[in-house]
């Protein structure tokens, strides 16, 4: 059951069976101007991407959700509030990320209170896994950050361990540590509930440290062929 404001929506379909976009996404048709993308995975009712877009007008904020009702709700909110840099999209982050974004285009990624998937046979549905970080890393800009949080301690430790041990990410608070407080200053719906109850929350933030080096052009001899002088 999903409750959006006063509306209750019962769902029957398996949300993991959703297909990715049939055609390549043309971001220029969605956002009025090009900008680095901030990505919020599993945004729920959408308070977080809405606030993020307002706090960072210099970003285009994309929310990915496996539930159409949430996607519609976010896009209706953004339209009603005249926020043109926030957009929700129906997609499974673990399956469709690679086809959605160009390389080096994401400046910020958040995974807030991902579903824990308690049963062992469902662990493969957990969002933060090495198989997900590999394609994600290629989409991140060299100055990008990845933030995550959960109230479920075993998942918090698992996400931290996976990220700490994945080459290309550095724990901003030091390996093995969690962030001491909110990493963005923006509360999600889930976070508000847990804060009100006094529950412990595992928050973490990472920066990219992969060798995402610009080509060292000055080391090339002038007559050496480069992509530009061969193809332009």
Ligand X SMILES: C[S@@+](CC[C@H](N)C(=O)[O-])C[C@H]1O[C@@H](n2cnc3c(N)ncnc32)[C@H](O)[C@@H]1O
The first and second tokens of residue 200, run together, are 């412990």
Question: Which one, 67 or 160, has the nearer CB to ligand X?
Answer: 67
Q: What are the CA-CA distances from residue 54 to residues 47, 78, 83, 134, 206 (Å)?
A: 11, 10, 8, 30, 22
Residues β-bridged to residue 65: 90
Q: Which lies closer to ligand X via its Cβ, residue 65 or residue 158?
A: 65
Whole-number Å distance between alpha carbons of 231 and 219? 20
Which residue's Cβ lies closest to ligand X?
42
3-state DSSP percent of the chain in helix, strand and coil, to 5 = 35, 20, 45
Nearer to ligand X, 88 or 144 (CB): 88
Catalytic residue among 72, 115, 164, 173: 115
Active-site annotation holds for 115: yes
Instruction: Please give the DSSP secondary-structure letter assigned to residue 166.
Output: S
- Scanning the chain, the segments in alpha helix (DSSP H) are 27-30, 47-55, 68-80, 93-100, 130-139, 153-164, 189-197, 227-231
What is the C-alpha separation between 175 and 165, in angstroms, rounded? 9
The distance of closest approach from Cβ of residue 114 to ligand X in the complex, given in angstroms and rounded to an integer, is: 6
Instruction: Residue 160: count other Cβ atoms within 10 Å of its Cβ.
Output: 23
Rank residues 86 and 93 by Cβ distance to ligand X and give the closer one: 93
In the complex, the smallest distance separating the C-beta of residue 178 from ligand X, rounded to whole angstroms, is 16
Whole-number minimum distance, CB 132 to ligand X, in Å?
9
Contact residues toward ligand X (CB under 6 A) are: 41-44, 64-67, 70, 92-94, 112-115, 127, 188-191
DSSP H helical ranges for 67-108:
68-80, 93-100
Q: Pick between residue 42 and residue 53 the one whose CB is nearest to ligand X.
A: 42
Q: What's the min distance (Å) between Cβ of 181 and ligand X?
A: 16
Q: Smallest distance, Å, CB 7 to ligand X?
A: 15
**Residues annotated as catalytic (active site), given as ranges:** 115
């Amino acid at each position: 059951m999903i409750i959006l404001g006063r509306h209750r929506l019962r769902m029957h379909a398996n949300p993991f069976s959703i297909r990715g976009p049939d055609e390549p996404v043309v971001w220029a048709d969605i956002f009025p101007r090009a900008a680095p993308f901030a990505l919020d995975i599993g945004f729920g009712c959408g308070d977080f991407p809405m606030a993020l877009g307002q706090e960072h007008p210099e970003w285009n904020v994309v929310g990915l959700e496996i539930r159409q009702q949430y996607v519609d709700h976010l896009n209706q909110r953004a339209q009603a509030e005249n926020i043109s840099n926030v957009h929700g999209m129906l997609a499974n982050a673990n399956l469709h990320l690679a086809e959605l974004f160009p390389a080096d285009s994401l400046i910020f990624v958040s995974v807030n209170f991902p579903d824990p998937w308690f049963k062992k046979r469902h662990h493969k549905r957990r969002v933060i896994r090495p198989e997900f970080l590999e394609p994600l890393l290629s989409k991140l800009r060299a100055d990008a950050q990845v933030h995550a949080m959960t109230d479920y301690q075993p998942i918090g430790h698992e996400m931290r361990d996976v990220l700490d041990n994945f080459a290309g990410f550095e724990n901003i608070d030091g390996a093995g540590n969690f962030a001491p407080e909110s990493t963005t200053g923006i509360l999600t719906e889930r976070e508000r509930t847990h804060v009100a109850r006094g529950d412990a929350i595992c928050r973490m933030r990472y920066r990219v440290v992969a060798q995402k080096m610009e080509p060292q052009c000055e080391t090339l001899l002038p007559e050496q062929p480069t992509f530009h002088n061969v193809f332009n």
